[in-house]
Amino acid sequence: MISNGKRRAPAIVLLLMILLLSLGLAACGGGGSSSSSDASTTGEATGESTGGSGGGKQEVPSATVGWVDATLEGSYQQRIHEAGEAAVEHVGWKMETTDTRGDPAAAARAVSSYVNSGVQAIIMSSITPATARAGLLQAKEKGIPVILVGGEVEGFPEPALDLNAYYGENEVELSEPLIELMTEELKPGDEVGILYTTLLKSGSARKEAVEEKLEENGIKVADALETEFDFQGGQANAATMLQQHPNLAAIVPVYDLWTAATVAAIKQAGAQGKVSVYSFYADAVNVPLMRKNPTIVKGLTDGNMIEAPLIAVEQLLQVLTGQEEEAEPDAAEGVFEYEAITQKNLPPGNQNGPVSLAEAEKPFFSQWDGEYEYP
């Protein structure tokens, strides 16, 4: 019995080796089917796109964004709003817009109304936060993100209202290319007038920057005139300035709303060829105006600020998909660049700004399309 058992042992060992070998081959995967399954599992674990619906992208929830604008009468404000609306709609969201037409009470009503209607986010363009404080406190309580774009305003940042994200121009830096151009084309002793407003920080900041630098270069600055937000107010004040200062060499309307009004006043006074205009924004109004009046409109200042609302929507994507708790305050840091616009580098046609919307939105949309699954 013992001898018979000794003879059977090698056969049993051989069977065990064959069985183990067959199991090992199966684990390695025959025909590629198991290999494909493993790759799919790895892709899911690492968050990589594995094809099919979503492809590993972040799912974007449905949302409505309330847009509160200082005045859509301004071509620059239109440019910013158009970019914001295009971005909001591209990601599958809905935008509701309120044009306050410079009325602080309208801004207050709009923000409160949007909060009560259940919007998921609010963007304010050139709106001073203090004018809508009650609504902004409601937004904070309900966790509704609020982002500021457009021109600089007073009361920012405002921790009490959770306002920490402003994406827009630096008014002093925006003014610098225009000031440099003026100091090159004007001479010491020339007199310059300024149309501005104290209603917005941007108006006062531009006025102060222009005054300071021109006076440092020996150029006289007449008393600036506070101006209403309309064509009539701009034309009336420009006419008054021409009457009060017969030796005026130039007028600086700090908003594009008043550029055409100033040109009209100069023509009415017969001051063509004597008084020049230097203003802000190479937009859909000022570009054709400059093209038609090359001896009057000598220069504009502008930049790529059309990217501001695109940055705002990008931040809202991160917040509303749960990737970030709040918008990044420095998301636009170092993004905006400014330049003087003259006859040599006018934007084509009636393009609203030196950078077209198509040019600005392309890299944003391309990146978002690869990262997000829209509703």
Please tell me whether residues 291 and 317 are part of one structural domain.
no
Please tell me whether residues 260 and 188 are part of one structural domain.
yes
Q: Among 303, 320, 344, give the residue marking a domain's end.
A: 303
Please tell me whether residues 141 and 189 are part of one structural domain.
no
- Which of 25-39, 59-73, 238-252 is least confident? 25-39
In a domain, 222, yes or no: yes
Please tell me whether residues 144 and 222 are part of one structural domain.
no
Domains held by the chain: number = 2
Domain at 366, CATH number: 3.40.50.2300
Task: Quote the pTM value.
Answer: 0.82
In a domain, 244, yes or no: yes
Total length of the chain: 375
Please tell me whether residues 162 and 211 are part of one structural domain.
no
Q: Among 258, 281, 303, give the residue marking a domain's end.
A: 303
In a domain, 17, yes or no: no
Which H helix or E strand runs over 193? strand 191-196
Domain hosting residue 129, numbered range: 61-169+305-333+356-373
| DSSP per residue, 98-119 | EE-TT-HHHHHHHHHHHHHHT-
In a domain, 368, yes or no: yes
Confidence check: pLDDT of 19 > 80: no
In a domain, 15, yes or no: no
Q: Which residues make beta-bridge pairs with 193?
A: 251
Which two structure tokens, joined as six digits, stand for 260? 């055409």
pLDDT digits (tens, 9 = 90+) for 314-362: 999 999 999 999 999 999 999 999 999 999 999 998 899 999 999 999 9
In a domain, 34, yes or no: no
pLDDT digits (tens, 9 = 90+) for 104-140: 999 999 999 999 999 999 999 999 999 999 999 999 9
Could you report how far apart the first and last alpha carbons of the chain are, in Å?
A: 78
Burial of residue 109 (CB within 10 Å: 0-12, 13-18, 19+) is middle
